[in-house]
Structure 1
Amino acid sequence: MPERTTLSSWVRGIVQSLELEGLDSRALFAELGLDFAALDDPDARFPQDAMSRLWNRAVELSGNPAIALNIARVHTPAFPVVGYALMSSRNLGEGFERLERYQRIIAEGADLTFRRLPEGCLYRIVVHGDRLPVPRQSAECSLASLIAMLRWITGRAIKPLEVRLAGDAPQNVEPYRELFQAPLSFGHADCAMLFSHEDMAAPLPTANEELARLHDRFAGEYLARFVSSRFSHQTRQVLCRLLPQGEPKRESVAQALHLSERTLQRRLQEEGTSYQQLLDDTRRELAQQYLATPRMTLLEIAYLLGFSEPSNFFRAFRRWFGKTPGEYREEL
């Protein structure tokens, strides 16, 4: 089964929330072997397990288990296509139904459900990993981003009837109280927010039926494009993970994707690339990212890019950029 992935624009919102805590996101990405430059590619995606490692390391460095709530202070759209579809809906209830429909665009690892119950409208999110357990911050980040967005769209201080959070209550629950302004309960298997029927039915000031249809078309086209072009992104992420162990063999990458080597090559060819081209492109872009991190030595970079000898890295870099890594870094 292919890796579950998360859209780069959502990851960019996470990065901004980590920086609000004073963390160096570029250095953090380099440490975890993630491609920082991919944040600028609107179609790039990151594995869910990579996001789990990112959250775990961020909590470790910051000492703040509530760090995911920072995303409520990030003002750039974290999921433009889906966000605009929500904004143009007649009301929040209709917007939530669109959010449920297009959730896969934002993150394949998240299962989102919206149910109209007698006691209110329940928004529930469960985040799944592939090989790693998912930290609580993944779902808490989604709740925090959503409540901030709802308040911004409506211009009203919307307060859930109840917020249910997974895991044991943290030592300091004040950040949760301050953000959600609602009764909190911990120890649940997953995260959810319960809203009043009145809040969900109130007309949205941004409602526009024509735009809603347009955004539905955009979201549908994105899903179709995502399904047809996502394989090279998945392969690229596997390469990023394997490179520090040495140059990845095609066999190892195919095995990580649960495919035969022949199928791997065929699917890459269908997307207009090849294994060797994707490996070269990934190394080149990672080299740019690593060289922008001053504390990383050239020997470390050569190792992280999977070169067995530094001289091989230097030759490849000169082929890519027409200069040595040292000259490139001096220009930076």
Structure 2
Amino acid sequence: MEHLHINNLWINGLLQAFAQLGLDTDALGKGIEGISDGKLAQGHQLDLVDARTLWHRAVKQCDDPLLGVNVGLIKNPRASGVLMPILLHSPTTRAALEHVAQFQTLISESGYYRIHNPSPDSNTSIEYEYIPATSSVSINPQQVMSVITSTLMMVKTVSNDRINADKLYVPPGMDTAAISNALACDVETREGNLAIRIPSADLDTPIVGRDEHLYQLSLGYAEGLLRAKRAGQHLIDQIKSAIDIEQPAQVSIEDVSAQLDLHHRGLQRNLKEQGTSFRQLKESLLKERTLELLVSQRLDVDSIAEQLGYSDASTFHRAFKAWFDVTPKQFREQIGS
């Protein structure tokens, strides 16, 4: 299992947007480590399972068919971090959209864009499909709508409002009329992933007011971050593989350090540089395994506790309540499969 997380700036921008829309951020973040008083503490990154749980709670609390759109419309552009200056100073809007796909994981690992028909010689529209990352907690369509809306706002900003989507594909059950009215584009129901279609006509028009020097500086910095992230991911993958055995709850940092031939203090130091810790990685894996057994395989609490290596069912039950602020039964009812 990969260690997937969401950038601090992005989560705090999300929580700020939720607050502006009148949601109770204290309730949304209850039981999620690092979130206090409606904010994610500096230096913390949110695990993918927690981030998606946050969205499921928000949808249940608000029940607004335009929640994702509204979040995307009001979210602070600073939440995109290093990506925004790259987009503003890209040569063209086409290049800016390619950078969105290239550097998406620096912001969030909840999903990524796949570009269909990216040829500069094509006169047809280009489709940008959002592919959710695999997780034991499914992504909520409203979460994807917030990402797509944020992307459309970026496109309009860098193109001086010349470019907008001409078609948005959404899964059945979403309010196509309301979304179409809010985003001023045609919305069509389609099975599969959400996607935006953008006309290629003006994509290669030079962006006005761009600075090549700032573009190259920002681009180089982002590429360096991406290389460092990939290098750090290799160590993280090794650690999670060492934990991901029978009864992972019993695996200690000393066990993993010995297996990888590293001193446990050096291991912790390396993980801190990647914005995580052994405890967070272990907890992340335990959550993934727990939800797979609980939701997908629908095992009872006793069986899950035994498979994961907890001393007894009550210890596992307390750990689950601390993670999600609900009991396993309540979680299964809320999230479903």
- The correspondence of residues 122-201 of structure 1 with structure 2, limited to 5 A, is 122-156=127-161, 158-165=163-170, 167-170=171-174, 172-201=175-204
- Aligned residue for 1:78, secondary structure, equals helix
Judge conservation of contact 2:93–2:203 (CA < 8 Å) in 1.
yes
Q: Give structure 1 stretches of 5+ with no counterpart.
A: 235-247, 281-299, 306-332
Measured in 1, the distance between the counterparts of 2:253 and 2:189 equals 40
Q: Deviations over 1:271-327 (max 9, x none)?
A: 52799x9769xxxxxxxxxxxxxxxxxxx9xx949xxxxxxxxxxxxxxxxxxxxxx
Task: Name the residue aligned to 2:34.
Answer: 35
Does the 8 Å CA contact 1:5/1:45 hold for their aligned counterparts?
A: yes
Query: Which residues in structure 2 correspond to 1:232-271 (within 5 Å)?
Result: 251=251, 262-263=259-260, 266=263, 269-271=266-268
Which amino acid in 2 is paired with 1:184? V
Q: Gaps spanning 5+ residues in structure 2: where?
A: 238-247, 281-317, 324-337
For residue 75 of structure 1, what is the amino acid of its counterpart?
Answer: N
Moved more, 136-145 or 67-76: 67-76
Q: What code does the residue aligned with 2:152 have?
A: I
Per the alignment, residue 88 of structure 1 pairs with: 89
Note the alpha carbon deviations across 1:206-228, whole angstroms, 9 max, x for none: 42222211111110121233345
Note closer, same or farther for the CA distance 1:268–1:118 as it changes in structure 2 (3 Å cut). farther
Which residue among 213, 223, 230 is the counterpart of 2:226?
Answer: 223
Q: Where does residue 56 of structure 2 map in the other structure?
A: 56
Aligned counterpart for 2:126 among listed residues 115, 121, 124: 121
Q: Partner of 1:294 in structure 2?
A: none
The size of the alignment, in residue pairs, is 269
Whether the 8 Å contact between 2:87 and 2:158 is mirrored in structure 1 is: no
**1:106 and 1:266, CA in 2 relative to 1: closer, same or farther beyond 3 A?**
farther
1:200, distance to aligned residue in structure 2 (A):
1.2
Deviations 1:120-157 (A, max 9, x none): 12222111232122211222111011111222333316
- The 3-state SS of whatever aligns with 2:78 is coil
Q: Deviations over 1:211-249 (max 9, x none)?
A: 211111110121233345569999xxxxxxxxxxxxx95
Greater shift, 209-218 or 105-114, is seen at 105-114
Percent same amino acid among aligned pairs? 16
What do residues 105-132 of structure 1 show as CA deviations (whole Å, max 9, x unaligned)?
A: 1222312122325421222211123212
TM-score of the two chains, using structure 1 as the length reference: 0.68
TM-score, structure 2 as length reference: 0.67
Distance (whole Å) between structure 2 residues aligned to residue 143 and residue 79 of structure 1: 13
Q: Is the 8 A contact 1:72 1:147 kept in 2?
A: no
Distance 1:250 1:105, change over 3 A: farther
Alignment check: 8 A CA contact 1:91 1:201 kept: yes
Over the aligned positions, Cα root-mean-square deviation in angstroms equals 3.8
C-alpha change, 1:126 and 1:261, in structure 2 (3 Å) is: farther
Which whole-Å CA distance do the structure 2 matches of 1:107 and 1:274 have between them?
18
- Give secondary structure in 2 for the equivalent of 1:217: helix
| Counterpart secondary structure, 1:272 | helix
One-letter code of the match for 1:89? S
Checking the alignment, whether the CA contact within 8 Å between 1:144 and 1:179 is kept in structure 2 is no
What code does the residue aligned with 1:180 have?
L
Secondary structure, in 3 states, of the residue corresponding to 1:188?
A: coil
